[in-house]
Amino acid sequence: MLRHVPSRAKDIGQISEWIHKHSISNEMLIKVGLRMNRNLLFGSNHRCVAMLIVFKSIMDEINFCEDHIQAPTSPLEASRGSSSITQQNKPLERLQKCLKQAMDFLDFCRPLSVSMTNAYKLVREEILKLNQASTDKAIASLRLDSSNDTLPSAHNVSHSTQRERTSSVLSANPSTNVSNEEAKGSSPVIPSHQQDERYHQDLYEEQKQQLKSFINRFIDEEVWSAQRGICENIYSNIANNDIILVYGCSTIVQHVLLNAKAKEKNFRVIIVDSPPHFNGRRMLRFLNDNCMDATYTLINSLSFVIRQATKVLIGANSMLANGYVMSHIGTSQVALMAKATNVPTIVCCETYKLSDRVYVDAFGCNEVDSGHELGSALNLRYDLTPPEFVSMVITEKSTVPAESVPALLRFRTERTTRT
């Protein structure tokens, strides 16, 4: 029944075999894949940022000399400019193949999160834009050169007349002719194909810097700045003497609680945890290190501790187009109990995690953990929480109901199209 649900590599032997089979040589890519496989990279934000850093290291590894432009073998080939247009995009095409191979390797180590998939799509679109821009520029330069060759101007005619007069003078004075030819031979002439190679190499370096700037801007705006925006938007929803119930461990929830504590809000946190990963212990250590009042319990006692809570605060791995919240398995049970006891449930989610997919159960989009962690073949990673269990969704843009996710998707698509 769960054969369609992706699962991670079971051991390092499978990963090593995949590396040798596909000739993976990037050291940072291998490290990130192994850390993801062993759950050492926690949270979809950190996994996405690590993937983008791997992309930048792959860009540095690609050498333009491996995709250099071949010298024309015939005058006819040299006169054609179409080969130059196709050759100049070779490094970008090779970069796309390398990034796709990196995504396949990370997906083999552990199935990709929605945040990683969305970030990869944006990087791929940026590469296509740069590719198209360079092609359009090359075509425009070819048209300009052809127009200059076919339509001689008065300036060119005057230069040809001047060259004829100079040749007649040189023929009358042989000594001047010899000295000029010696001076002419002393200055080397760079072949045209080498000039093209140098030009396209500089063009690729410029495109690589533009891609790196795009990735750095994405990490800063869509991840770190988005977390700060969520902390500011949710601050007014946290009151003094609140009892906040959290489930497991979410990095965005950690930032929200830390920001409220820094602004001298007095509250208590109830941490609800569940096997097999017990991520709530990581949240407990974080709260203790930052001197926050916290209580730890397992999900077995949820029906008892939920009565003490004034609100439930959870993070999201993704928000689907139909308003369902995709998060760590057990989140839907917590939201259901909160709904039954009239406790508001607040979801924190960055807009780059929004997905245009629609699911109504957890079997369509999930991940199967390796069997050794639970001792069973069935160990799903995520579940889906219906929008009727969610009171509000806090993003860096605004506070919206769960049913308004399609509006946020349209806003994000329009903004991406304009840029």
Is there a domain that residue 219 lies in?
yes
Is there a domain that residue 1 lies in?
no
pLDDT at 138 exceeding the cut of 90 = no
Is there a domain that residue 229 lies in?
no
Same domain, 110 and 163: no
> Containing domain of residue 178, as a range?
152-189
Same domain, 91 and 211: yes
Q: Which of 141-150, 335-344, 345-354 has the lowest mean pLDDT?
A: 141-150
Same domain, 162 and 64: no
Which of the two residues, 417 and 262, has the higher pLDDT score? 262
Is there a domain that residue 57 lies in?
yes
Same domain, 316 and 380: yes
Give the span between the Cα atoms of 77 and 290, in whole angstroms.
Answer: 69
Same domain, 48 and 175: no
CATH code at 389?
A: 3.40.50.10470
Is there a domain that residue 7 lies in?
no
What are the pLDDT digits (tens) for 68-101?
A: 434 344 444 444 444 444 455 578 888 999 999 9
How many domains does the chain fold into? 3
Is there a domain that residue 360 lies in?
yes
Distance of CA 248 to the CA centre of its chain: 25
DSSP calls for 278-303? -THHHHHHHHHHTT--EEEEEGGGHH
How does strand 325-328 pair with strand 318-319? antiparallel
What are the pLDDT digits (tens) for 386-417?
A: 999 999 999 998 899 998 888 888 888 776 66
CB 243 within 8 A of CB 309: yes
Same domain, 160 and 258: no
Same domain, 208 and 308: no
Supply the mean pLDDT for the chain.
82
The answer for 344, left when phi > 0, alpha when psi is -120 to 50, beta otherwise, is: beta
What are the pLDDT digits (tens) for 20-65?
A: 999 998 999 999 999 999 888 888 999 999 999 999 999 988 875 5
The two three-digit tokens of residue 398, written as one number = 């605004």
Q: Which of 12-21, 179-188, 367-376 has the lowest mean pLDDT?
A: 179-188
* Residue 274: pLDDT band with limits 50, 70, 90: very high
Is there a domain that residue 228 lies in?
no
Same domain, 317 and 362: yes
CA distance readout (Å), 210 to 124, 205, 214, 265, 332: 13, 9, 6, 42, 42
Which of the two residues, 279 and 177, has the higher pLDDT score? 279
Same domain, 175 and 116: no
DSSP character at residue 397: S
pLDDT for 197: 67
pLDDT for 419: 61
CB neighbour class for 240 (10 Å; exposed up to 12, middle 13-18, buried from 19)? exposed
Residues found in the chain: 419
Give the span between the Cα atoms of 254 and 394, in whole angstroms.
Answer: 14
DSSP calls for 300-326? GGHHHHTTT-SEEEEE-SEE-TTS-EE
Of all residues in the chain, the percent with pLDDT exceeding 70 is 74
Is there a domain that residue 396 lies in?
yes
Which of the two residues, 54 and 191, has the higher pLDDT score? 54
pLDDT for 375: 45
Same domain, 184 and 214: no
Contacts of 77 (CB under 8 A, 6+ apart): 83
Same domain, 364 and 288: yes
Same domain, 336 and 395: yes
